[in-house]
Amino acid sequence: MRMLALYSIKGGVGKTASSVNLAAEAARAGLRVLLWDLDPQAATSFYLRVKPRIRGGVGKLVKGKASFDKVIRATQIDGLELLPAAQVSREMDARLAKRGASHLRQILTPIRDDYDLVILDCPPSLSHLSENIFSSVDALLVPMVPTVLSLRTLEQLDDFLDDHDIACPRWPFVTLADRRRTLHREVMAALPERWPLRLSTTIPAASAVERMGLERAPVRDFAPRSAAARAYAALWRELDQRLN
């Protein structure tokens, strides 16, 4: 079971849209995928038409006493299941502070043979939860808008991981890109030298991604020929090659 996290310190960078679309692409490629919505805003759960609720609460989940067949929900996409968020997910940080590193991976131990890939949609913060994410996953997928502030938060994340001696691979990729804007082109041109492990596929700024909130589905479900759908399919292929 491989674990990946869609993570950024900065909000508004396309993290949740990328989580949903990459999970859907992986499932369509034949993988058994679990998408875990760790953000109490529950946008991933909303997109996939799942009520944001964890039966038994976060406490049982963290203690390893949750019944996963009652917690995990099916989605409209074959092969993709969801561990939804809930407002009480705000408790997760405090509860994980009392646990050791990599506890999120340990929580999933009873079902690790049921899935090929687990994707975490993470809240934009630095906390006990995020530190546990860093120590649990195989890599961080870090979406970034090609702007100076977004690049700065990527560097802050890099510094944090280095300062805390956390050996977690960082794979940035560009989202919400508008090649008509000079700044976007300049930032993207500078990425290869500074971030050699970046994913090269770029997700464009596109109305189809914004429509996910109306359609409550991955882009390919309602706009399969759109530039965004093609980009997410290409991003998954690149990611799949890297994982294998």
* 81-108 per-position pLDDT tens digit: 999 986 655 667 667 766 767 788 888 8
Q: In a 3-state reduction of DSSP, which class is residue 24?
A: helix
Say which residue the tokens 């956390």 belong to.
166
- Please check the confidence at residue 48 and state whether its pLDDT lies above 80: yes
Q: Please, what is the angle between helix 15-28 and helix 227-243, to 10°?
A: 70
Q: Please, what is the angle between helix 182-194 and helix 148-163, to 10°?
A: 20
Cβ neighbour number for residue 125 with a 10 Å cutoff: 14
Contact 35, 80 (CB under 8 A): yes
Q: Does domain 2-234 have CATH number 3.10.129.10?
A: no
CA distance 157 to 174: 16
Helix (H) or strand (E) holding 174: strand 170-177
Mean pLDDT value across the chain: 90
CA distance 203 to 238: 13
Q: Name the residue with higher pLDDT: 214 or 61.
A: 214
Grade residue 69 by pLDDT with cuts at 50, 70 and 90.
Answer: confident
- Please check the confidence at residue 206 and state whether its pLDDT lies above 60: yes
Grade residue 65 by pLDDT with cuts at 50, 70 and 90.
Answer: low
Grade residue 67 by pLDDT with cuts at 50, 70 and 90.
Answer: confident
* 165-185 per-position pLDDT tens digit: 999 999 999 999 998 999 999
Q: What's the pLDDT score for residue 219?
A: 98
Domain ranges of the chain: 2-234
Grade residue 126 by pLDDT with cuts at 50, 70 and 90.
Answer: confident
Closest of 230, 182, 226, 177 to residue 204, by C-alpha: 177
Structural tokens at position 84:
């939804």
Q: Name the residue with higher pLDDT: 133 or 60.
A: 133
| Chain length of the chain | 244
Strongest mean pLDDT among 109-113, 126-130, 194-198, 224-228: 224-228
Q: What's the pLDDT score for residue 57?
A: 63
- Please check the confidence at residue 60 and state whether its pLDDT lies above 80: no
Q: 178-216 burial, b for 16+ CB within 10 Å, e for fewer?
A: eeeeeebeebbeebeeebeebbebbbbbbebbebbeeeb
pTM of the model: 0.93
Grade residue 235 by pLDDT with cuts at 50, 70 and 90.
Answer: very high
